[in-house]
Amino acid sequence: MKNFFLATYLAVKEVARNKGRFLLVAMVIALITVLVLFIAALGEGLSNANRQYVANLDAELIVFLEKSDYNISSSRLETNTVKAVRRVEGVADAGPIYTSTSQIVSLPEPLKITILGVEAARPGMPTLLEGRYFRGGEAREAVMDASVAERTDLKIGDEIEIRSTQGTKDEFYTLKIVGLVDKQAYFFQPTIFIPAATWELVRPQSESELNSDTPYPNIIAVKLTDPTQVDVIKTRLQNEVANIEVADIETTINNIPGYTAQQGTVQTQGVFTLLIGILVIGGFFQIQILQKVPQIGVLKAIGSSNFVVGLSAVVQIIIVTAIGVGIGAGLNYLFSLVLPAAIPLAFNGTWSLVAILLLLFIGPLGGMVSIIYAVRIEPLKALRLG
Amino acid sequence: MNTVALEVRDLVKTFSLDGATLNAVDGVSFQVKSGEFVALVGPSGSGKTTMLSILAALLSPTSGQVLIDGQDLAKMNEKQRVRLRREKIGFTFQSNNLIPYLTARENVEFMLRLNNKRDRAGRMRSDELLARLGLAERLHSLPSQMSGGQQQRVAIARALIHNPAVVLADEPTASLDTERAYQVVETFAHLIHENDRAGIMVTHDLRMCQFVDRVLQMQDGKLVRIYEDKNEIMELAQGILKH
């Protein structure tokens, strides 16, 4: 305990009497912290924009067309598959999901959106935040995601006009917004939900597709009676329903085109930033220790133990790192307040905390060499010997 | 006044350089009593600093014995030696004496902190000692804000504050002008006598010998002559007596 106080005393005094020098390193650490937290937020933001709808589905399994490689856009199921899936034992409910993209043109600036055809109150339709579900059939009604509301001034009760290219013509459809959901971004676009039959009518189609009125769902979201039975039901579905393959939510997310590659890129950047941090801190403290050799020699010659000298170096590195990370986290918070919504940054508490802990850890890790060096300095250095 | 604080018996320290062996200290024996101030002189390479390092338990001798306050250094492990250094030995160095980020007072009190004795009485004694050394106005100055002489005096206070058995000074006047050097060594001698410590000063400046009780002269690692007569010492200091 006495050693700990001594070490802290030395570390604190040195930092306090050399504020400029240590603040400089702390600022470097602060900027690295900002960068790491930004990259973490970017990773989270990008992945949210990509997967949020799938990740928040009230379902445990997703049914794809056989051999579609769990790719949502390339999977196109038969209409009656939904009924077949619902009949399988252990399935509580199943809802078809139809995906497509379009554009809201009744705005000062057109907004590209994902249109998702779903059945109200079935898996695939998220829980309402406000308003009501659309009616069934071909009702020209839509539920919008909060991400649409954020980028436009649209409210429940407003009407929107969407434009879809069908065959060789641009067709315009008017939809009334009746409800609001949140956290449903999909494929980097804000989302609106409409009834399946309306979806078939308003979505962009080729000339040949226009001849058919039957909507084919891309995937089916399956909710289980017992969510722990994922593997059993998965096998059962594949055995009992023809021409399908089944994946859990995680597999589905990882197979969203580009998702894994994107997350890999972002994570690599994060790891390299941390490595740079380790090297910068390591370099600074190593040079500082080299300058302090005679002084550490004196400390030891007058009777400070190696333990106190080493501990003091550790405490000092922790103090400087903590100040840097603190400043960085503060700066980051300020940035997060002023950033426009269009930049896909999501500051996730858990991830930020993990990043901050990692950053606090890189200080002592980077300073390891200098700490070992400090412990090994001979007290004889005080006498110009050794 | 009469207890033996430091005793050296047949001390030998051998270094090997490129296969050749060199006796930096070669069969040296002497004693220093409490209240006695001794100068260790000799040309460079005569083994003074090696001698001092061994006395300070910073270097192990090849053979021979060093007893500080009756304790044999050779029988101690590293941990006990660290403890001995902070409890029984006071130290001033030629340069880089003080911890640069501690004020004069903090540097002196650090010695008390190390020994867990920084109580009210200890703090008062430290301020008194600094005042005695003419540093009452500089308690809160950092080493970089003080002159070489002031720094050396803070180091003297630090070397004495914890009442060590032995005080070792390595070239205390090396970076000082003559007048300051006299002042510093005179005060040093005074405090050693007054506090009944055993003081050993390594110096190449014979003029400083006028303040000491005995002069040990070293050459090529051997103790070649001991001056004990006060007149002889004064003559040596004034350069009349050639060594």
- What predicted TM-score, i.e. pTM, was given to this entire model? 0.78
pLDDT on residue A385: 55
Q: Rounded to whole angstroms, how far apart are CA atoms A332 and A355?
A: 12
pLDDT on residue A259: 85
Closest chain B CA to residue A3 = B114
Backbone dihedral angles phi then psi of residue A265, each to the nearest 5 degrees: -60, -50
| Beta strand extents in chain A (DSSP E only) | 61-65, 91-104, 111-118, 130-131, 141-145, 159-166, 169-181, 191-195, 219-224, 244-248
Residue labelled with tokens 């103090």? A319
Residue A69, in any domain of the structure: no
Residue A68, in any domain of the structure: no
**Final residue of a structural domain among A242, A275, A307:** A242
Which amino acid, A118?
V
Stretch A55-80: mean pLDDT:
92
Closest chain B CA to residue A18 = B101
Read off the tokens for B241. Answer: 């007596």
pLDDT on residue A384: 64
**Whether residue A284 sits in one domain with residue A233:** no
pLDDT on residue B241: 61
Residue A85, in any domain of the structure: yes
Residue A203, in any domain of the structure: yes
Q: Rounded to whole angstroms, how far apart are CA atoms B135 and A187?
A: 74
**pLDDT tens for residues A341-350?**
667 777 777 8
Distance from the B230 Cα atom to the nearest Cα atom in chain A, whole angstroms: 30
**Whether residue A311 sits in one domain with residue A220:** no
A169 Cβ under 8 Å from any chain B Cβ:
no
- Crossing angle of helices B120-132 and B148-160, rounded to 10°: 140
| Beta strand extents in A229-377 (DSSP E only) | 244-248
Using DSSP's 3-state secondary structure scheme, residue A132 falls into: coil
Distance from the B229 Cα atom to the nearest Cα atom in chain A, whole angstroms: 31
Low-confidence stretches of chain B (pLDDT beneath 50): 1
Q: What is the 3-state secondary structure (H, E, C) of A180-226?
A: EECCCCECCECEEEEEHHHHHHHCCECCCHHHCCCCCCCEEEEEECC
Read off the tokens for A218. Answer: 């891309």
Q: Rounded to whole angstroms, how far apart are CA atoms A6 and A17?
A: 17
CA distances from A246 to A28, A81, A98, A126 (A): 49, 13, 17, 21
Residue B136, in any domain of the structure: no
Q: Rounded to whole angstroms, how far apart are CA atoms A120 and A78?
A: 20
pLDDT on residue B127: 95
- Asked which of A34-48, A141-155, A174-188 is least confident by mean pLDDT, the reply is A34-48
Q: What is the total count of domains within chain A?
A: 2
**Whether residue A167 sits in one domain with residue A34:** no
**Whether residue A292 sits in one domain with residue A238:** no
pLDDT on residue B125: 94
Question: Chain A residues with CB inside 8 Å of B101's CB?
Answer: 13-14, 16-18
A8 Cβ under 8 Å from any chain B Cβ:
no
Q: Rounded to whole angstroms, how far apart are CA atoms A369 and A314?
A: 11
Residue B158, in any domain of the structure: no
Boundaries of domain holding A171: 79-242
Residue labelled with tokens 């000092």? A316
Paired strand residues for A111: A104
Residue B40, in any domain of the structure: yes
> What is the rounded end-to-end Cα distance, in angstroms, of chain B?
29
pLDDT on residue B21: 87
**Whether residue A199 sits in one domain with residue A283:** no
A1 Cβ under 8 Å from any chain B Cβ:
no
Optimal mutation site among A18, A293, A302, A381, interface B, most CBs of chain B within 10 A = A302
Residue A101, in any domain of the structure: yes
Residue B35, in any domain of the structure: yes
Residue A73, in any domain of the structure: no
Q: Would the pLDDT of A86 be above 60? A: yes
**Whether residue A185 sits in one domain with residue A153:** yes
**Whether residue A232 sits in one domain with residue A313:** no
Using DSSP's 3-state secondary structure scheme, residue A175 falls into: strand
Q: Which of B135, B139, B105, B136 is nearest to B122 (CA)?
A: B105
List, as ranges, residues 12-41 from A with C-beta within 8 Å of B.
13-14, 16-18
> Backbone dihedral region of B196: left (phi > 0), alpha (psi from -120 to 50 degrees) or beta?
left
pLDDT on residue B109: 96
CA distances from A160 to A97, A143, A197, A366 (A): 22, 11, 18, 56
Q: Rounded to whole angstroms, how far apart are CA atoms A148 and A180?
A: 10
> For residue A340, what is the DSSP state?
-
A to B CB pairs, distance under 8 Å: 81
Residue B129, in any domain of the structure: no
Residue A342, in any domain of the structure: yes
Q: Rounded to whole angstroms, how far apart are CA atoms B243 and B228?
A: 14
Whether residue A177 contacts residue A193, with contact meaning beta carbons closer than 8 Å, is answered with no
Whether residue A344 contacts residue A50, with contact meaning beta carbons closer than 8 Å, is answered with no
> For residue A126, what is the DSSP state?
P
**CB neighbourhood size of B166 (10 A):** 22
List, as ranges, residues 68-107 from A with C-beta within 8 Å of B.
none
Q: Rounded to whole angstroms, how far apart are CA atoms A80 and A60?
A: 20
**Whether residue A173 sits in one domain with residue A318:** no
Residue labelled with tokens 């017992």? A226
Q: Do the Cβ atoms of A302 and B114 come within 8 Å?
A: yes
Whether residue A215 contacts residue A230, with contact meaning beta carbons closer than 8 Å, is answered with no
Q: What is the total count of domains within chain B?
A: 1
Q: Rounded to whole angstroms, how far apart are CA atoms A280 and A264?
A: 24
Whether residue B76 contacts residue B82, with contact meaning beta carbons closer than 8 Å, is answered with no
> What is the rounded end-to-end Cα distance, in angstroms, of chain A?
31
B89 Cβ under 8 Å from any chain A Cβ:
yes
Residue B154, in any domain of the structure: no
Percent share of chain A, pLDDT over 70: 99
- Asked which of A118-127, A349-358, B126-135 is least confident by mean pLDDT, the reply is A349-358
Whether residue A124 contacts residue A142, with contact meaning beta carbons closer than 8 Å, is answered with no
B33 Cβ under 8 Å from any chain A Cβ:
no
Which amino acid, A270?
G
Residue A70, in any domain of the structure: no
> Per-residue confidence at A151, pLDDT binned at 50, 70, 90?
confident
Q: Do the Cβ atoms of A303 and B86 come within 8 Å?
A: yes
Which helix (H) or strand (E) segment is B226 a member of?
A: strand B222-227
Residue B68 makes CB contacts below 8 A (sequence gap 6+) with B5, B6, B55, B57, B84, B88, B89, B165, B166
Q: Do the Cβ atoms of A303 and B142 come within 8 Å?
A: no
> Per-residue confidence at A208, pLDDT binned at 50, 70, 90?
confident
Q: Do the Cβ atoms of B93 and A382 come within 8 Å?
A: yes
Distance from the A339 Cα atom to the nearest Cα atom in chain B, whole angstroms: 42
Distance from the A145 Cα atom to the nearest Cα atom in chain B, whole angstroms: 60
Closest chain A CA to residue B101 = A14
Residue B106, in any domain of the structure: no
Q: Would the pLDDT of A383 be above 90? A: no
**Whether residue A45 sits in one domain with residue A160:** no
Q: Rounded to whole angstroms, how far apart are CA atoms A98 and B72?
A: 90
> For residue A383, what is the DSSP state?
G
B91 Cβ under 8 Å from any chain A Cβ:
yes
Distance from the B31 Cα atom to the nearest Cα atom in chain A, whole angstroms: 22
**pLDDT tens for residues A222-272?**
999 999 999 999 999 999 999 999 999 999 999 988 888 888 898 898 889
Question: Chain B residues with CB inside 8 Å of A301's CB?
Answer: 56, 58, 85, 91, 93
CATH number, domain with residue B56: 3.40.50.300
Stretch A51-66: mean pLDDT:
92
Distance from the B116 Cα atom to the nearest Cα atom in chain A, whole angstroms: 8
Kindly report the average pLDDT of chain A as a whole number.
89
Cα-based angle A15, A19, A24 (whole degrees, multiple of 5): 105
> Per-residue confidence at A386, pLDDT binned at 50, 70, 90?
very low
A298 Cβ under 8 Å from any chain B Cβ:
yes
